A and B are shown apart, each in its own frame.
Chain A
Amino acid sequence: MATPLVELRGIAKTYGSGEAAVHALKDTDLRVYPGQVVGLLGPSGSGKTTLLNLIGCIVEPTRGRMDLDGETVYDNRWLKSDLRRLRLEKIGFIFQFHNLLPFLTAEENVAVALDLAGVSGAEARRRARALLDYLEVGHRRASLPSRLSGGEAQRVAIARALANRPRIILADEPTAALDSGRAGMVMDLLRRLALEQRAAVLVVTHDETIFGRFDHAVSLRDGQVEAGG
């Protein structure tokens, strides 16, 4: 068996303290392997977003151990800049509402992620164009996000998430703003990326129409893995 790209052991996250403490996640274990597309399912307040934020290095766990692509995160030696570097190099984010920067064109939205990673301007633009072409939205590269359709904007957002060839892709309700046809296209795309780039894809969703497209589904309830971890 391959080494998991994401491995969580006994991870817990508590907000607040004392009587006001909210246990968003309790002793959660999870493994996601390269090439896998994993769904994180569960009702609102079950801890899906907290889990996504933890893996995305946005919030720090209260306890437990987390390994991302062979690196143990939050082992007391991690600085804010280390987390930023990890997010930049190894994690790609896809959002419910694409979250493209409104003042950048489609091409610039993709190139900015490369620019932040230190890729030179011309090379960043070349790679951004290639990615947009790959996602069949290259013809809209000069358009601002406000001029793109929902599906086009989501594909540009996916291109941005993939720009630095991340090993881990975190998608938060990526199909919520799309019709079923486009939702299916996006899921097909994520699967293709997982296989081609040997990436781990974690998708938080409420969308029952895509439940059948996961290799593996993790069901959460009240901050605990109910099934599938």
Chain B
Amino acid sequence: MNLAVRDVRHNLGRFLLTCLGLSLLLGVVLSMIGIYRGLVDEALTLVRSPGADLWIVESGTRGPFAEASRIPGDERDAVARLAGVAAAGSLTFQSVETAHRGRTLRLYVVGYEPGRPGEPKRLAAGRLITRSHYEMLADRRAGLEIGERVRLGRDVYEVVGLTDGVVASGGDPVVHLTLRDSQRLQFELDPPAARRELARGGRPAGLDTVNAVVARVLPGVPEARVAAEAARWKHLAALTQGEQEGLLLKSVVEKARRQIGLFTAILMAVSAVVIALILYTLTMDKVKAIATLKLIGAPDRTIVALIVQQALAMGVIGWSAGTLLILLAKDHFPRRLLLLPDDALMLGAAVLVLCVVASGLGVRLALKVDPATALGG
């Protein structure tokens, strides 16, 4: 006879309410893990978007994502001529904020050369940029529609295509412009500033500067070998795609990872304390019943099973409901929440271990109950 099931059945409302509370707590834990995964995924999306094997950046810097990098635009041709390189393309990166339809739109602008590495690999809708100027590809997260016109700097751009899930590490949606447009947006002075420069005898600033050059290597050619070749130029540094991803995670995501990790650990500790207190209280309520069971000859394992099985049931129900809750709510989070089956299963296993450990308080209390408690009033 399973006493735990019968006890739960008898106090079903209270048990389910407790499970609901626990599921909310575990849902928060799971969402924190999902936010971290989403953060990493979003950060890598932008780096992976060009489909590059190599990143050529300014010497002494760690690339356009970890720190500022500026190199002359014509370096693309030099890189393209390196042995083993199949194709190369220049890229610029820049954050912009613009007013659009009465709201502030924060965007991350990527400038690329159509037809060269750096062009988005997939579009969710519309077409790629075909004109030299004033066309843009926007990510769906920006909330823009095809045909919509958006002012960036001093020019207006028309959305001709939509990407899906391409965002910057800060969560801002990415828009793609042609390299020329993005260079003008980033480097061209506005007319008053340009006139002032001319008046003080300065030369007009050159616009042909890029933040990085990306390259694809030929099949069978080791990326590291081509990177070493490129790095021989003193004014350039070269990173493989793997190194670039590693750098990005280490420099941009690391603090967020620690922050979320610590918060998740605190939440898990809170969950453990809550579970332990709930089980202790549930056991306190059953002291007389436990004493009676002991008096009529129930072995300790029957008493322990009663408590541990309830703890496990609470953990399983709480975890399942929490996971379901987050699955239903994940698309309503402002930033991407990526739920991986492995993470959910790991949390489930941790919750089960936590439940067994947390039931220790209740088990200890139950084992100390004197059978004589059942006698008398």
- A: residues with CB less than 8 A from B are 49, 52-53, 56, 58-59, 81, 84-85, 87-89, 93, 95-97, 99, 101-104, 108, 111-113, 115-117, 121, 124, 144, 160, 172-173
Q: List 10 A-B contacts (CB under 8 A).
A: A49-B376, A52-B375, A85-B297, A87-B297, A99-B374, A101-B292, A111-B1, A112-B293, A117-B297, A172-B376
Residues 279-315 of B contacting A (Cβ, < 8 Å)? 288-289, 292-299, 302
Complex contact B372–A59 (CB within 8 A): yes
**Which of B7, B289, B295, B374 has its CB near the most chain A CB atoms (within 10 A)?**
B295
Complex contact B376–A93 (CB within 8 A): no
State the Cβ distance, B198 to closest chain A Cβ, in Å.
90
Q: Assuming A95-B375, A96-B377, A103-B10, is B302 touching A116 (CB within 8 A)?
A: yes
A92 nearest CB neighbor, chain B only? B296
Complex contact A99–B288 (CB within 8 A): yes
B375 nearest CB neighbor, chain A only? A172
Please tell me if B121 contacts chain A, counting CB pairs below 8 Å.
no
Across chains A and B, which 4 residue pairs bring their CB atoms closest together, nearest first?
A: A88-B297, A103-B10, A103-B7, A115-B1
A-B contact count (CB 8 A): 76
Contact with B372, one of A53, A88, A108 (Cβ below 8 angstroms): A53
B298 nearest CB neighbor, chain A only? A116
Q: Assuming A52-B375, A85-B297, A112-B1, is B292 touching A99 (CB within 8 A)?
A: yes
Q: Assuming A93-B295, A102-B10, A116-B298, is B1 touching A108 (CB within 8 A)?
A: yes
Please tell me if B364 contacts chain A, counting CB pairs below 8 Å.
no
Number of B positions contacting A (CB below 8 A): 25
A112 nearest CB neighbor, chain B only? B1
Please tell me if B371 contacts chain A, counting CB pairs below 8 Å.
yes
State the Cβ distance, A49 to closest chain B Cβ, in Å.
7
B374 neighbours in A (Cβ, 8 Å): 93, 95, 99
In the bound assembly, the distance between CA atoms of A63 and B9 in angstroms comes to 46
In the bound assembly, the distance between CA atoms of A101 and B3 in angstroms comes to 10
Q: Assuming A87-B296, A103-B9, is B302 touching A96 (CB within 8 A)?
A: no
Q: Assuming A93-B295, A102-B289, is B375 touching A53 (CB within 8 A)?
A: yes
**Which of A59, A93, A121 has its CB near the most chain B CB atoms (within 10 A)?**
A93
State the Cβ distance, A123 to closest chain B Cβ, in Å.
12
A-B contacts besides A103-B9, A116-B299, 6 pairs, CB < 8 Å? A49-B376, A97-B377, A99-B292, A103-B289, A104-B6, A112-B1
Residues 326-377 of B contacting A (Cβ, < 8 Å)? 370-372, 374-377
B298 neighbours in A (Cβ, 8 Å): 84, 116
A117 neighbours in B (Cβ, 8 Å): 297
Please tell me if B104 contacts chain A, counting CB pairs below 8 Å.
no
